Structure 1
Amino acid sequence: METLSGGRSTGIYRQGETVVRPIQEWSATVHRLLRYLHQQGFHACPEVIGMDTGSEVLSFVEGDTYNYPLEGAIASEEALISAARLLRQLHDVSQGFLNNVNLAETVWMLPAREPAEVICHGDFTPYNVALSGNEVVGVFDFDTAHPAPRLWDIAYSVYCWSPFKTDPIDKMGTLNTQIARARLFCDSYCVSNSDRQKLVTEMITRLQSLVTFMLAQADTGDEQFAQHIAEGHHAGYLADIDYLSLNENKIIEGIC
């Protein structure tokens, strides 16, 4: 079996055309979501194959995968546009799922947020998509999926795809370049002007929520999150919050 990198957990393997991942407390809910998406004709996500002794077995999403720094096909405008359009399609299809489940009886890795407009992917980033050439054709790693407003998902995706990052490895281009990419993402998703006005505030809130979650998980003894804190990952997000706050007016002006 081939060990797959990325994601939030270890022990993820590719076995032929399937992926074997550890079962989590929220896996049953995510499986219901994935089955629903496929039933509605959204086939750009993994398909649930079954369970195997404490592991889930999903279909492998074909395509080229990338990580930061964003270079090559993943950095292209075509990838950015197709990513935004795929996220919009995912959100639109997921609305029906909300009408078919009792949210009080579901378990998610991340807490639901009101208003629950769609099922957010929660981590729709360059390292969680598959490309064919320059086009994003698939998305995987739905562990962080949860009900929330559209803008909650859009904000984190724009932050990651622009990307509004300060880390020397993660950042890409100048602020003006990042703003242009953010606007293209918003245009391709068809984000309303009113939501664009709130986008930077939502990005900051999303990052603050992420840091809080990381610290809480580390405090519970989660070894992976404890390692991330020790390596200063949370400090990177805090630096990005300062970067967004400093440039908020210019970003809003550029994307509206």
Structure 2
Amino acid sequence: MNNVQIKGDVVTRPIAPWSSSVHQFLRHLAQQGELVTPEVIGSDESFEYLTYVQGETTNYPLVGDYASLEALVSCASLQRKLHDSSVEFLKSHSLEGASWMLPTREPVEVICHSDLAPYNLAFKGAKAIGIFDFDTIHPGPRIWDIAYSIYCWAPFKTHKADSLGDINQQIYRAKLYCNAYQVGNDQREILVDTMICRLEALIDFMTAQAESGDPQFIRNIESGHHLGYMADIDYLHHHNEQITKGVVL
């Protein structure tokens, strides 16, 4: 993030090996015109240039409007629109030769944002109106993306600064997210297991990046950032049956 610059309505970011794939998807979204997302202005050997998504932003702890059910439902609605639009992208674009930060997950149903958390959304009051930070997009199943978003929005987190309410309140929020997205019962039944798998994959990615010498992830591992995810995995294991019964219709 230290290398990201914002001047007026233009965001300048370092180019990455997967940027061309991300740009192709962003251009598709711009052509669809149903979502507010960054638009590609151009790129060179070192940087990409994108439009700035206007709106308010937040991070944990979720308070005020950002902790509201309206915010949660609006995120679920945006995610459904994003996924549905990506189905058309997959029909019209070949994935051969495409590069992604994160590995493709089977079955490929949509393009996953992979980090549709509160801090990657633009808000107007309590309503999420735009999505940004598409670096982590990759092909995968809907539930893979939905599971992580619900984990972030329930949120099923154990850190006091990140959690919101008790397990019953978290389950209620998770079910409301499922309802707003219109998640089927078969997917709700595997929701918790998918959340656990998604967090395990995140820890593996962080560890691999640190071992490859990435300074950001080295700092994250040294500071014990991954330990929070491990605690959340234990929390999900412990409440798996209760959560599943609570979200299934």
Shorter-normalised TM range: over 0.9
3-state SS of the aligned residue for 1:254? helix
Is contact 2:28–2:89 with CA below 8 Å preserved after alignment?
Answer: yes
Match for residue 237 of structure 2 among 239, 242, 245: 245
Count of residues paired in the alignment: 248
2:13 counterpart residue number: 21
Separation in structure 1 between the aligned mates of residue 220 and residue 120 of structure 2, nearest angstrom: 19
Matched, 1:236 2:228: yes
Match for residue 219 of structure 1 among 211, 231, 235: 211
Is contact 2:111–2:139 with CA below 8 Å preserved after alignment?
Answer: yes
Aligned partner of 2:159: which letter? Answer: D
The residue correspondences of 1:111-130 to structure 2 (distance < 5 A) are 111-130=103-122
Aligned partner of 2:131: which letter? Answer: V
Aligned partner of 2:26: which letter? Answer: L
Per the TM alignment, residue 43 of structure 1 is displaced from its structure 2 partner at its CA by: 3.4
3-state SS of the aligned residue for 1:103? coil
1:95 counterpart residue number: 87
Is contact 2:15–2:45 with CA below 8 Å preserved after alignment?
Answer: no
RMSD of Structure 2 on Structure 1 (CA): 0.9
Matched, 1:72 2:69: no
Q: 1:136-174: CA deviations, max 9, x gaps? A: 000100000000000000000000000000012111111
Separation in structure 2 between the aligned mates of residue 134 and residue 43 of structure 1, nearest angstrom: 17
Separation in structure 2 between the aligned mates of residue 188 and residue 53 of structure 1, nearest angstrom: 41
Matched, 1:163 2:152: no
Segments ≥4 residues shifted beyond 3 Å: none
Aligned partner of 2:34: which letter? Answer: F
2:173 counterpart residue number: 181
Unaligned runs of 5+ in 2: none
2:188 counterpart residue number: 196
Separation in structure 2 between the aligned mates of residue 187 and residue 148 of structure 1, nearest angstrom: 21
Match for residue 150 of structure 1 among 116, 137, 142: 142
Per the TM alignment, residue 104 of structure 1 is displaced from its structure 2 partner at its CA by: 2.4
Matched, 1:254 2:246: yes
Separation in structure 2 between the aligned mates of residue 255 and residue 13 of structure 1, nearest angstrom: 41
Q: 1:108-151: CA deviations, max 9, x gaps? A: 00000111000000100000000011110001000000000000
Separation in structure 2 between the aligned mates of residue 211 and residue 59 of structure 1, nearest angstrom: 31
Aligned partner of 1:12: which letter? Answer: V
Separation in structure 1 between the aligned mates of residue 224 and residue 163 of structure 2, nearest angstrom: 16
Unaligned runs of 5+ in 1: 1-8
